[in-house]
Amino acid sequence: MEQQNWRGRQVLVTGGASFIGSHLVDALVERGAQVRVADNLSTGLIENIDTHVKAGRIEFLQVDLLDPETARLAARGCDVAFHLAADHGGRGYIATHPVECATNLILDGTVFRACHQQGVERVIFASSGCVYPTSRQMDPTAEVWLAEDMVGPPYESDDLYGWAKLMAEMTLKAYHTQYGMKTASCRFFTVYGPRCGESHAVMAMLARAFARQSPFVVWGDGEQIRNWTYVDDIVEGMILAAEKIEDGTAVNLGTAERIRVIDCAREVIRLAGYETDVKKLLDMPSGVLNRAADTSLAASLLGRVPQVSFNEGLAKTWAWYTATKDADDVRLLVADEQALLTHRMGKSAPSPAASA
Protein backbone atom coordinates (compact mmCIF):
# COMPACT_ATOMS: atom_id res chain seq x y z
CA MET A 1 0.00 0.00 0.00
CA GLU A 2 1.62 3.27 -1.05
CA GLN A 3 1.39 6.51 0.86
CA GLN A 4 -1.04 8.22 -1.55
CA ASN A 5 -3.52 5.41 -0.95
CA TRP A 6 -4.43 6.70 2.50
CA ARG A 7 -6.84 9.14 0.88
CA GLY A 8 -10.36 7.90 1.57
CA ARG A 9 -9.20 4.77 3.41
CA GLN A 10 -11.34 3.88 6.43
CA VAL A 11 -8.96 3.69 9.37
CA LEU A 12 -9.70 2.71 12.95
CA VAL A 13 -7.37 4.04 15.65
CA THR A 14 -8.04 2.36 18.99
CA GLY A 15 -6.74 4.49 21.84
CA GLY A 16 -6.73 7.41 19.40
CA ALA A 17 -7.26 10.01 22.14
CA SER A 18 -3.99 9.02 23.79
CA PHE A 19 -0.69 10.86 23.57
CA ILE A 20 0.72 8.74 20.71
CA GLY A 21 -2.68 7.84 19.24
CA SER A 22 -3.69 11.48 18.80
CA HIS A 23 -0.47 12.29 16.92
CA LEU A 24 -1.15 9.31 14.66
CA VAL A 25 -4.68 10.62 14.07
CA ASP A 26 -3.23 14.03 13.07
CA ALA A 27 -0.92 12.34 10.54
CA LEU A 28 -3.67 10.13 9.08
CA VAL A 29 -6.08 13.05 8.72
CA GLU A 30 -3.29 14.99 7.01
CA ARG A 31 -2.93 12.09 4.53
CA GLY A 32 -6.66 12.17 3.76
CA ALA A 33 -7.75 9.02 5.62
CA GLN A 34 -11.27 8.67 7.04
CA VAL A 35 -10.44 8.13 10.70
CA ARG A 36 -12.55 6.57 13.42
CA VAL A 37 -11.22 6.79 16.97
CA ALA A 38 -12.42 4.29 19.57
CA ASP A 39 -11.28 5.18 23.07
CA ASN A 40 -12.82 4.87 26.54
CA LEU A 41 -10.91 7.98 27.72
CA SER A 42 -9.55 6.10 30.73
CA THR A 43 -6.22 7.83 30.16
CA GLY A 44 -6.82 9.40 26.75
CA LEU A 45 -7.94 13.01 26.61
CA ILE A 46 -10.67 14.31 24.35
CA GLU A 47 -8.80 17.63 24.04
CA ASN A 48 -6.07 15.75 22.15
CA ILE A 49 -8.44 15.20 19.22
CA ASP A 50 -11.29 17.65 19.71
CA THR A 51 -10.33 20.02 16.91
CA HIS A 52 -10.82 17.10 14.50
CA VAL A 53 -14.03 15.98 16.21
CA LYS A 54 -15.53 19.48 16.21
CA ALA A 55 -14.58 20.03 12.56
CA GLY A 56 -16.24 16.71 11.62
CA ARG A 57 -12.94 15.42 10.25
CA ILE A 58 -13.00 12.24 12.35
CA GLU A 59 -15.57 9.99 13.99
CA PHE A 60 -15.14 9.52 17.73
CA LEU A 61 -16.61 6.60 19.68
CA GLN A 62 -16.23 6.74 23.45
CA VAL A 63 -16.42 2.99 24.04
CA ASP A 64 -14.87 0.18 26.04
CA LEU A 65 -13.18 -2.18 23.60
CA LEU A 66 -13.05 -4.96 26.18
CA ASP A 67 -16.62 -5.66 25.10
CA PRO A 68 -16.54 -7.90 21.99
CA GLU A 69 -19.72 -6.52 20.40
CA THR A 70 -18.48 -2.95 20.90
CA ALA A 71 -15.13 -3.89 19.37
CA ARG A 72 -16.92 -5.37 16.34
CA LEU A 73 -18.93 -2.17 15.88
CA ALA A 74 -15.75 -0.11 16.12
CA ALA A 75 -14.03 -2.25 13.46
CA ARG A 76 -16.99 -2.42 11.09
CA GLY A 77 -16.30 -0.99 7.63
CA CYS A 78 -12.61 -0.30 8.32
CA ASP A 79 -9.80 -1.17 5.90
CA VAL A 80 -6.97 -0.63 8.37
CA ALA A 81 -6.79 -0.69 12.18
CA PHE A 82 -4.03 0.77 14.33
CA HIS A 83 -4.41 -0.79 17.77
CA LEU A 84 -3.04 1.48 20.51
CA ALA A 85 -5.68 1.09 23.23
CA ALA A 86 -4.08 -0.37 26.33
CA ASP A 87 -4.14 -0.27 30.10
CA HIS A 88 -0.83 1.45 30.53
CA GLY A 89 1.15 4.01 32.49
CA GLY A 90 4.79 4.75 33.14
CA ARG A 91 7.26 2.58 35.03
CA GLY A 92 5.53 3.18 38.36
CA TYR A 93 2.19 2.04 36.99
CA ILE A 94 3.61 -1.03 35.27
CA ALA A 95 5.42 -2.07 38.44
CA THR A 96 2.46 -1.58 40.77
CA HIS A 97 -0.50 -2.59 38.55
CA PRO A 98 0.29 -5.98 36.97
CA VAL A 99 -3.36 -7.08 37.16
CA GLU A 100 -4.57 -4.06 35.21
CA CYS A 101 -1.77 -4.49 32.67
CA ALA A 102 -2.80 -8.14 32.23
CA THR A 103 -6.24 -7.02 31.02
CA ASN A 104 -4.40 -6.06 27.83
CA LEU A 105 -4.32 -9.79 27.05
CA ILE A 106 -8.12 -9.66 26.81
CA LEU A 107 -8.27 -6.27 25.13
CA ASP A 108 -5.78 -7.13 22.38
CA GLY A 109 -7.38 -10.50 21.69
CA THR A 110 -10.83 -8.92 21.54
CA VAL A 111 -9.76 -6.16 19.15
CA PHE A 112 -7.85 -8.51 16.82
CA ARG A 113 -10.75 -10.96 16.73
CA ALA A 114 -13.20 -8.15 15.96
CA CYS A 115 -10.96 -6.89 13.15
CA HIS A 116 -10.79 -10.37 11.65
CA GLN A 117 -14.55 -10.90 11.94
CA GLN A 118 -15.20 -7.53 10.26
CA GLY A 119 -12.79 -8.19 7.40
CA VAL A 120 -10.30 -5.46 8.32
CA GLU A 121 -7.42 -5.89 5.84
CA ARG A 122 -4.53 -4.70 8.00
CA VAL A 123 -3.83 -4.43 11.70
CA ILE A 124 -0.84 -2.54 13.08
CA PHE A 125 -0.07 -2.97 16.75
CA ALA A 126 1.58 -0.64 19.28
CA SER A 127 4.04 -3.01 20.91
CA SER A 128 6.93 -2.11 23.17
CA GLY A 129 10.58 -2.53 24.04
CA CYS A 130 9.15 -4.30 27.12
CA VAL A 131 8.94 -7.53 25.07
CA TYR A 132 12.74 -7.90 25.20
CA PRO A 133 14.39 -10.21 27.74
CA THR A 134 15.05 -8.22 30.90
CA SER A 135 18.28 -10.10 31.65
CA ARG A 136 19.82 -8.65 28.47
CA GLN A 137 19.13 -5.15 29.79
CA MET A 138 20.63 -5.15 33.28
CA ASP A 139 24.24 -4.08 32.70
CA PRO A 140 24.46 -0.31 32.14
CA THR A 141 28.15 -0.59 31.19
CA ALA A 142 27.50 -2.92 28.24
CA GLU A 143 26.75 -1.59 24.76
CA VAL A 144 23.70 -3.71 24.01
CA TRP A 145 21.45 -3.02 21.04
CA LEU A 146 18.17 -4.88 21.25
CA ALA A 147 17.61 -6.57 17.90
CA GLU A 148 14.23 -8.02 16.99
CA ASP A 149 15.47 -11.62 16.92
CA MET A 150 16.54 -11.45 20.59
CA VAL A 151 12.88 -12.08 21.41
CA GLY A 152 12.59 -15.88 21.39
CA PRO A 153 12.61 -18.87 23.68
CA PRO A 154 13.16 -18.71 26.58
CA TYR A 155 10.96 -15.63 26.58
CA GLU A 156 11.55 -13.16 29.41
CA SER A 157 9.49 -10.01 28.89
CA ASP A 158 9.31 -7.05 31.25
CA ASP A 159 6.45 -7.46 33.75
CA LEU A 160 2.93 -8.50 32.75
CA TYR A 161 2.72 -5.39 30.59
CA GLY A 162 5.58 -6.72 28.44
CA TRP A 163 4.21 -10.26 28.37
CA ALA A 164 0.85 -9.00 27.12
CA LYS A 165 2.59 -7.05 24.33
CA LEU A 166 4.49 -10.20 23.38
CA MET A 167 1.31 -12.32 23.32
CA ALA A 168 -0.37 -9.71 21.11
CA GLU A 169 2.55 -9.79 18.65
CA MET A 170 2.31 -13.58 18.52
CA THR A 171 -1.45 -13.46 18.05
CA LEU A 172 -1.08 -11.10 15.09
CA LYS A 173 1.51 -13.38 13.53
CA ALA A 174 -0.94 -16.26 13.92
CA TYR A 175 -3.72 -14.24 12.25
CA HIS A 176 -1.41 -13.70 9.32
CA THR A 177 -0.26 -17.32 9.08
CA GLN A 178 -3.67 -18.88 9.58
CA TYR A 179 -5.98 -16.35 7.88
CA GLY A 180 -3.73 -14.18 5.73
CA MET A 181 -4.63 -11.00 7.62
CA LYS A 182 -1.95 -8.36 6.97
CA THR A 183 -0.37 -7.50 10.27
CA ALA A 184 2.61 -5.68 11.76
CA SER A 185 3.86 -4.89 15.25
CA CYS A 186 5.89 -1.80 16.11
CA ARG A 187 8.05 -1.97 19.22
CA PHE A 188 8.09 1.57 20.63
CA PHE A 189 11.04 2.61 22.77
CA THR A 190 10.21 5.12 25.54
CA VAL A 191 8.26 7.70 23.60
CA TYR A 192 8.00 11.37 24.54
CA GLY A 193 6.77 14.64 23.07
CA PRO A 194 3.89 17.11 23.32
CA ARG A 195 0.73 15.65 24.98
CA CYS A 196 2.72 13.00 26.87
CA GLY A 197 1.72 12.79 30.54
CA GLU A 198 4.05 13.05 33.50
CA SER A 199 3.81 9.32 34.14
CA HIS A 200 6.75 9.00 31.76
CA ALA A 201 10.26 9.80 32.85
CA VAL A 202 11.11 12.63 30.49
CA MET A 203 7.85 14.42 31.20
CA ALA A 204 8.27 13.92 34.94
CA MET A 205 11.69 15.57 34.63
CA LEU A 206 10.27 18.46 32.62
CA ALA A 207 7.61 18.92 35.31
CA ARG A 208 10.24 18.97 38.08
CA ALA A 209 12.33 21.50 36.21
CA PHE A 210 9.32 23.68 35.42
CA ALA A 211 8.54 23.65 39.15
CA ARG A 212 12.22 24.48 39.77
CA GLN A 213 12.48 21.50 42.09
CA SER A 214 15.58 21.60 44.26
CA PRO A 215 17.18 19.21 44.86
CA PHE A 216 16.07 17.71 41.57
CA VAL A 217 14.77 14.15 42.02
CA VAL A 218 15.50 11.18 39.79
CA TRP A 219 14.27 7.62 40.34
CA GLY A 220 17.03 5.03 40.65
CA ASP A 221 20.72 5.92 40.48
CA GLY A 222 20.37 7.75 37.18
CA GLU A 223 22.69 5.35 35.33
CA GLN A 224 19.76 3.69 33.49
CA ILE A 225 20.14 3.99 29.73
CA ARG A 226 17.18 4.75 27.50
CA ASN A 227 16.72 5.73 23.91
CA TRP A 228 13.89 8.17 24.23
CA THR A 229 12.12 8.47 20.90
CA TYR A 230 10.25 11.53 19.71
CA VAL A 231 6.58 10.92 18.96
CA ASP A 232 6.73 12.13 15.33
CA ASP A 233 9.25 9.38 14.57
CA ILE A 234 6.94 6.78 16.11
CA VAL A 235 4.00 7.97 14.01
CA GLU A 236 6.02 7.95 10.76
CA GLY A 237 7.28 4.46 11.63
CA MET A 238 3.79 3.12 12.31
CA ILE A 239 2.43 4.45 9.03
CA LEU A 240 5.38 3.00 7.11
CA ALA A 241 4.85 -0.34 8.87
CA ALA A 242 1.24 -0.29 7.65
CA GLU A 243 2.48 0.38 4.12
CA LYS A 244 5.35 -2.10 4.03
CA ILE A 245 4.87 -5.00 6.48
CA GLU A 246 2.18 -7.66 6.01
CA ASP A 247 3.43 -10.84 7.66
CA GLY A 248 3.23 -9.95 11.35
CA THR A 249 6.90 -8.99 11.60
CA ALA A 250 7.73 -6.88 14.65
CA VAL A 251 10.03 -3.92 14.07
CA ASN A 252 11.79 -1.62 16.52
CA LEU A 253 10.82 2.04 16.51
CA GLY A 254 13.53 3.63 18.59
CA THR A 255 16.46 5.98 18.11
CA ALA A 256 20.08 4.84 18.14
CA GLU A 257 20.95 7.37 20.88
CA ARG A 258 21.85 6.03 24.29
CA ILE A 259 20.99 8.55 27.01
CA ARG A 260 21.47 8.08 30.75
CA VAL A 261 18.65 9.26 33.00
CA ILE A 262 21.13 11.48 34.87
CA ASP A 263 22.22 13.17 31.63
CA CYS A 264 18.60 13.73 30.66
CA ALA A 265 18.02 15.32 34.08
CA ARG A 266 21.02 17.64 33.60
CA GLU A 267 19.83 18.69 30.14
CA VAL A 268 16.33 19.39 31.46
CA ILE A 269 17.76 21.52 34.30
CA ARG A 270 19.89 23.39 31.75
CA LEU A 271 16.81 24.04 29.58
CA ALA A 272 15.00 25.42 32.62
CA GLY A 273 17.92 27.74 33.26
CA TYR A 274 18.68 27.11 36.93
CA GLU A 275 21.21 25.24 39.02
CA THR A 276 20.53 22.50 41.54
CA ASP A 277 21.84 19.24 42.94
CA VAL A 278 20.33 15.92 41.86
CA LYS A 279 18.84 13.64 44.53
CA LYS A 280 18.65 9.94 43.64
CA LEU A 281 15.67 8.02 45.02
CA LEU A 282 16.99 4.48 44.97
CA ASP A 283 13.75 2.91 46.27
CA MET A 284 11.56 4.13 43.41
CA PRO A 285 10.96 1.87 40.37
CA SER A 286 13.61 2.44 37.76
CA GLY A 287 13.04 -0.42 35.33
CA VAL A 288 15.72 -2.22 33.37
CA LEU A 289 19.14 -0.55 33.34
CA ASN A 290 20.03 -0.61 29.68
CA ARG A 291 17.41 -0.35 26.93
CA ALA A 292 18.31 0.78 23.42
CA ALA A 293 17.02 -0.32 20.04
CA ASP A 294 18.89 -1.82 17.14
CA THR A 295 17.54 0.15 14.19
CA SER A 296 18.80 -2.01 11.31
CA LEU A 297 15.56 -3.86 10.65
CA ALA A 298 13.61 -0.58 10.59
CA ALA A 299 16.15 0.78 8.09
CA SER A 300 15.82 -2.21 5.79
CA LEU A 301 12.06 -2.86 6.06
CA LEU A 302 10.74 0.68 6.43
CA GLY A 303 13.55 2.60 4.73
CA ARG A 304 13.57 5.00 7.63
CA VAL A 305 14.97 5.30 11.15
CA PRO A 306 14.02 7.94 13.73
CA GLN A 307 15.27 11.40 12.71
CA VAL A 308 14.74 13.65 15.71
CA SER A 309 17.76 13.93 18.02
CA PHE A 310 17.14 13.82 21.76
CA ASN A 311 18.22 17.40 22.34
CA GLU A 312 16.00 18.66 19.53
CA GLY A 313 12.99 16.65 20.69
CA LEU A 314 13.52 17.65 24.31
CA ALA A 315 13.68 21.35 23.41
CA LYS A 316 10.42 21.06 21.41
CA THR A 317 8.73 19.22 24.25
CA TRP A 318 9.97 21.74 26.82
CA ALA A 319 8.57 24.57 24.66
CA TRP A 320 5.19 22.80 24.51
CA TYR A 321 5.21 21.98 28.22
CA THR A 322 5.99 25.47 29.42
CA ALA A 323 3.49 27.03 27.00
CA THR A 324 0.58 24.82 28.07
CA LYS A 325 1.01 24.03 31.78
CA ASP A 326 0.16 26.04 34.84
CA ALA A 327 3.15 26.41 37.18
CA ASP A 328 1.06 26.03 40.39
CA ASP A 329 -0.55 22.81 39.12
CA VAL A 330 2.85 21.43 38.21
CA ARG A 331 4.31 22.33 41.63
CA LEU A 332 1.46 20.38 43.28
CA LEU A 333 2.02 17.49 40.92
CA VAL A 334 5.70 17.03 41.70
CA ALA A 335 5.33 17.61 45.44
CA ASP A 336 4.55 14.00 46.45
CA GLU A 337 6.70 11.25 44.94
CA GLN A 338 4.73 8.43 46.60
CA ALA A 339 1.42 9.72 45.27
CA LEU A 340 3.01 10.07 41.88
CA LEU A 341 3.86 6.37 41.91
CA THR A 342 0.33 5.04 41.68
CA HIS A 343 -1.09 7.36 39.07
CA ARG A 344 -1.54 6.96 35.40
CA MET A 345 -0.73 9.12 32.47
CA GLY A 346 -2.80 11.61 30.61
CA LYS A 347 -5.19 12.67 33.35
CA SER A 348 -4.91 15.93 35.20
CA ALA A 349 -3.10 16.24 38.51
CA PRO A 350 -2.03 14.42 40.46
CA SER A 351 -0.54 12.43 37.65
CA PRO A 352 2.32 9.97 37.84
CA ALA A 353 5.97 10.67 37.52
CA ALA A 354 8.21 7.77 36.77
CA SER A 355 11.49 6.64 35.43
CA ALA A 356 10.98 4.00 32.77
Ligand X SMILES: NC(=O)c1ccc[n+]([C@@H]2O[C@H](COP(=O)([O-])OP(=O)(O)OC[C@H]3O[C@@H](n4cnc5c(N)ncnc54)[C@H](O)[C@@H]3O)[C@@H](O)[C@H]2O)c1
What is d(CA 188, CA 186) in angstroms, rounded to the nearest whole number?
6
Least distance CB 346 / ligand X (angstroms): 5
Q: Which residue number, 10 or 351, has a Cβ lying nearer to ligand X?
A: 351
Residue 308 is a binding residue for ligand X (CB under 6 A): no
CA separation, residue 163 to residues 86, 170, 295 (Å): 13, 11, 22
What is d(CA 237, CA 250) in angstroms, rounded to the nearest whole number?
12
Classified as helix, coil or strand, 59 is strand
Give the interface size with ligand X as a residue count (CB under 6 A). Answer: 30
Decide the pairing of beta strands 247-253 and 216-219.
unpaired
CA separation, residue 6 to residues 30, 79, 85, 196, 284 (Å): 9, 10, 22, 26, 44
Please answer whether residues 162 and 188 qualify as being in contact, where contact means their C-beta atoms are separated by less than 8 angstroms. no
| Residue span 167-206 as binding mask against ligand X, x where in contact by CB under 6 A, dash where not | ---------------------x-xx--------x------
Taking contact as CB under 6 A, which single stretch among the options 40-48, 283-291, 304-312, 334-342 is the one that binds ligand X? 40-48
CA separation, residue 98 to residues 201, 215, 338 (Å): 19, 31, 18
Residue 65 is a binding residue for ligand X (CB under 6 A): yes
Residue 19 is a binding residue for ligand X (CB under 6 A): yes
Residue nearest to ligand X (CB): 44
Least distance CB 43 / ligand X (angstroms): 3
Please answer whether residues 175 and 183 qualify as being in contact, where contact means their C-beta atoms are separated by less than 8 angstroms. yes
| Residue span 100-139 as binding mask against ligand X, x where in contact by CB under 6 A, dash where not | -------x------------------x-x-----------
Please answer whether residues 298 and 304 qualify as being in contact, where contact means their C-beta atoms are separated by less than 8 angstroms. yes
User: Using CB under 6 A, which of 13, 17, 160, 239 touches ligand X?
Assistant: 17
User: Using CB under 6 A, which of 5, 27, 31, 42 touches ligand X?
Assistant: 42
H helices, E strands: number in the chain: 13, 13
| Residue span 325-354 as binding mask against ligand X, x where in contact by CB under 6 A, dash where not | --------------------xx--------
Task: Return residues touching ligand X (CB under 6 A).
Answer: 15, 17-21, 38-44, 64-66, 84-88, 107, 126, 128, 188, 190-191, 200, 345-346
